[in-house]
Chain A
Amino acid sequence: MRRKVRVDFDELNVGESVAYILATEFGLKPNIVKAQVNDDSSGLMIFIVDGEEELLDKAMGRLKSMGFEVRDLEKHITRDKARCWSCGACVSICPSKSFTYDPETWEVHLDIDTCIACGSCVTSCSVKALKLNI
């Protein structure tokens, strides 16, 4: 299965390699789609992790025990469908091609499963219909 997680860290664990732990200790396949370190050594990473559910649960438990804050991202991007006017300004700029035109109605669809939470679409939206919740 695939899980999207946000991992927050601080000065105590900023030096740990989370991706290495996920890969070597649990045999998971982590993809870091966002990483950010603040001036006070705190920061966050966003992972898309592939692997067996049981191992994913164990791995997240292990990260929590190391002092990381771990949160599953579910509705990490939301769209106000009443505001969206289906122009498509988000379509060609999305790195994961999560926005597509319906070939019949030409309404813009969002596939949240492929979204990597980069936030590029948020500023591209002229009616502020998109919100990143990470």
Chain B
Amino acid sequence: MAKTYEEINEKIRSKKAVVCTAEEVVDLVRKKGVEKAAEEVDVVTTGTFGAMCSSGAFLNFGHSTPPIRMTNILLNGVQAYGGLAAVDTYIGATQMTEDSEKGYGGAHVIEDLIAGKDIHLRATGPGTDCYVRKEIDTYVSLDDLNEAYLYNPRNSYQNYGVATNTSDKALYTYMGKLLPKMKNASYSSAGQLSPLLNDPHCDVIGIGTRIFLGGGEGYVSWQGTQFKTDVEEVGGVPVAGARTLAVIGDMKQMDPYYVRGLDIHGYGISLALGIGVPLPILDEGVMARAAVSDEDLFAEMLDYSLPSGRVPMARYSYAQLRSGKIEYQGKTIRTSSMSSYAGAKKVAQELKDRIERGEFLLNAPSLMLPKAGSVKPLKVREARRCAER
């Protein structure tokens, strides 16, 4: 029995929609079967809450009197992009502060803005006939800005490798501290709750899908960077990093609980972000894919002591990874996560609550994401001469 977006939205509006989190449907489908579950359930909510480095925000400050064309912009000492129109900027999450206050960066500016704090804005410009001011030093908060929206080129990775370290010294990586001699391993995906693991070929997630982004409403705006589909699958789900999402959302709706600046020791700054995607249960296929559990989802372990060319060492299910220990060649390795499963659960639950209350309607994609994609490496090479082009 197929459903349409309009039928589901009508149920949401009349507060009659049946909504389950991607965790809850695992048991439901085991008990009742896919067919029955697809009939009963209208929406499955997913969630993830992890470090998403490829994130940032577009901001518009408004014009001062006299006006300035800002070309060199600092927000709490963090460089923001000065190559847009006069008072537009983009602040990247991983940009680090230039002054002595370490452990602070673009992600923290974004968190502080969302928390309603004052941000120290310092900017200089060339001074032109139309923008005579050459410098400005003031404070702005989120309310003062005309527009402030996250635009994140790559979020919500579909699966991710498990990091370990075979070397003799500890490594400080974006996957956390990796103890020497494989004493621990760090994984990152929310597994059975992760948006793109519950819709592995993006049959329902597409451009225009309305999502939970950092506590507010956002949208899938494009395929994420490094979007790839040519990845080995088990049970129809990639076992390594594959698809990604570019997302957009109004910061004025967001909650600092779900948007946090991270200072990852030895690596740098990143942004922890909560993202939830509602999956419309249009048919049994969508239901079956959304019912995937941690036992059925796998990730590959990689040796982060190798600078490149990391060959998968072993494959583990998320159920094994979440048990706290895995075995490798007779050795026990302790495991923990770099993303918050507690946070992912909160995101999926909060999205479920909003849909049940009739506050969050589904938006059908206006365009589907690419069905194929691969990632090219960067070659270090000489410039080609014109004739060879």
- The chain A residues found within 8 Å of chain B, CB to CB, are 85-93, 101-102, 105-108, 120, 123-124, 126-128
Q: Which residues of A contact B172 (CB under 8 A)?
A: 123
| With contact pairs A85-B272, A89-B176 given, residues A123 and B265 touching in the complex (Cβ less than 8 Å) | yes
**B303 → chain A, closest Cβ, in Å?**
16
Chain A CB within 8 A of B243 CB: no
Q: Which residues of A contact B261 (CB under 8 A)?
A: 127
Measured in the bound complex, the distance between the Cα atoms of B339 and A50 in whole Å is 37
Q: Which residues of B contact A108 (CB under 8 A)?
A: 342
Q: Which residues of A contact B184 (CB under 8 A)?
A: 92-93
Measured in the bound complex, the distance between the Cα atoms of B324 and A85 in whole Å is 18
Chain A CB within 8 A of B207 CB: no
B264, B324, B345: the one contacting A105 at CB < 8 Å is: B345
Chain A CB within 8 A of B156 CB: no
Q: Which residues of B contact A105 (CB under 8 A)?
A: 342, 345
Closest to A90 in B: B336
Q: Helix, strand, loop or mixed for chain A's interface?
A: loop
Give the residues from 335 to 350 in chain B that come closer than 8 angstroms, CB to CB, to chain A.
335-343, 345
Q: B263 to A126, Cβ gap below 8 A?
A: yes
What are the 10 tightest A-B residue pairs by CB atom distance, in nearest-first order? A91-B336, A92-B336, A92-B184, A126-B262, A86-B342, A89-B176, A92-B334, A106-B342, A106-B341, A88-B336
Measured in the bound complex, the distance between the Cα atoms of B324 and A11 in whole Å is 45
**A126 → chain B, closest Cβ, in Å?**
4
The 15 sampled A-B contact pairs (Cβ below 8 Å) are A85-B342, A85-B343, A86-B340, A86-B342, A89-B336, A92-B185, A105-B345, A106-B345, A120-B177, A123-B172, A123-B265, A124-B265, A126-B270, A127-B272, A128-B263
Q: A89 to B338, Cβ gap below 8 A?
A: yes
Closest to B175 in A: A89
| With contact pairs A124-B265, A126-B263, A126-B264 given, residues A89 and B186 touching in the complex (Cβ less than 8 Å) | yes
Q: Which residues of A contact B179 (CB under 8 A)?
A: 92-93
Interface size class for chain B?
Answer: 20 to 34
Q: Which residues of B contact A128 (CB under 8 A)?
A: 103, 263
Besides the known contacts A87-B339, A127-B261, A128-B263, 8 further A-B residue pairs in the complex with CB atoms under 8 A apart? A88-B341, A105-B345, A106-B341, A106-B345, A108-B342, A120-B177, A126-B264, A127-B263
Q: A85 to B340, Cβ gap below 8 A?
A: yes
Q: Which residues of A contact B186 (CB under 8 A)?
A: 89, 92
Closest to B335 in A: A92
Q: Which residues of B contact A86 (CB under 8 A)?
A: 340-343
Chain A CB within 8 A of B69 CB: no
Closest to B170 in A: A93
Q: Which residues of B contact A89 (CB under 8 A)?
A: 176-177, 186, 336-338
Q: Which residues of A contact B263 (CB under 8 A)?
A: 126-128
Q: A93 to B177, Cβ gap below 8 A?
A: yes
Closest to B258 in A: A85
Q: Which residues of A contact B260 (CB under 8 A)?
A: 85, 127
Closest to A108 in B: B342
**A6 → chain B, closest Cβ, in Å?**
25
Query: B127-164: contact bitstring with A at CB < 8 Å (1 yes, 0 no)?
Result: 00000000000000000000000000000000000000
Q: Which residues of A contact B96 (CB under 8 A)?
A: none
Chain A CB within 8 A of B360 CB: no
Measured in the bound complex, the distance between the Cα atoms of B292 and A53 in whole Å is 54
**B214 → chain A, closest Cβ, in Å?**
13
Chain A CB within 8 A of B304 CB: no
Measured in the bound complex, the distance between the Cα atoms of B335 and A50 in whole Å is 30
Q: Which residues of B contact A106 (CB under 8 A)?
A: 340-342, 345
